[in-house]
Structures are given as C-alpha cells and as structure tokens.
Amino acid sequence: MAVKAAYENYSGPNADAVENFHGNQVVYIGWDEHMMFPFAGVFPLPPQMPFGALVKDLLPSVYGAHPDFARIDWAATEWSLDGARFTPDMDRSIAENGVAHKSLLRLATPGLNGIGNTGF
C-alpha cells in the first residue's frame, strides 16, 4: 500500500529497505482461523533458510502454545504467498520458494479452526 507523505516533495530514507536488515528479509507469517494470533507476525529471516526449517524450527516457537498446533497435518496444510496459493518445497530456501522481502506467508490448516471451532 502506498503512503502519501504529509509534506509536499518529501523524500526521506526508506527505513524498512532490505539493506537495513543485515542480510535478512522481513517476512510476515499468519495462521488462518486462529485469532489467538490476530495478525501476521513479522520475522527477519535469512533468505537461504530452508522452508522446512521455517516449519520445523520457527513456527513451533511462535504458534506452539496453541492447542491446534500439535495436531497440524503438514502434508494437508494450504499455503499462500502474497495472496496466491502455492506449494512450498521444504528442501529449498525461502528465497527459492519465492518468499521475498516483506512477503506475506499464510497457512491454513483444514479441520483445525481454533479452540472449539471458534476461530480462536
């Protein structure tokens, strides 16, 4: 989303440029139907990180407290990247999977719709 500056002809620094993250890229990650986490988390991740490591190492530390997390069928998980459905290759890096700086990654877990199917 473009932002219009309050000052005419404003040209300030781009504080969230990829160059400012020391070799990492910002990735937003959200879990659909689980409003215990009401918005996508923001993570500075190395582009060479294997997608499988994101699933195995990062996501449990973020979402593991939710009772549904232990019941996720990762083979049935539906992924979207920047609004388009996609199937990640767990052995390839997040960059090789098309995850770029400021990408939005969402996961949907069929049959798991929050605590008591409430979306929470």
Query: Which distant-in-sequence residues (6+ apart) come within 8 Å of 53 by Cβ?
Result: none
For 45, the enclosing helix (H) or strand (E) is strand 41-45
- Give pLDDT tens digits along the chain (120 positions): 456 777 788 777 888 899 999 999 999 999 999 999 999 999 999 999 999 999 999 999 999 999 999 999 999 999 999 999 999 999 999 999 999 999 999 999 999 999 998 989
* Start-to-end CA span in the chain (Å): 28
Q: Report which residue type is found at 107.
A: L
Q: How far apart are CA 57 and CA 47, in angstroms?
A: 15
Q: How far apart are CA 63 and CA 60, in angstroms?
A: 5
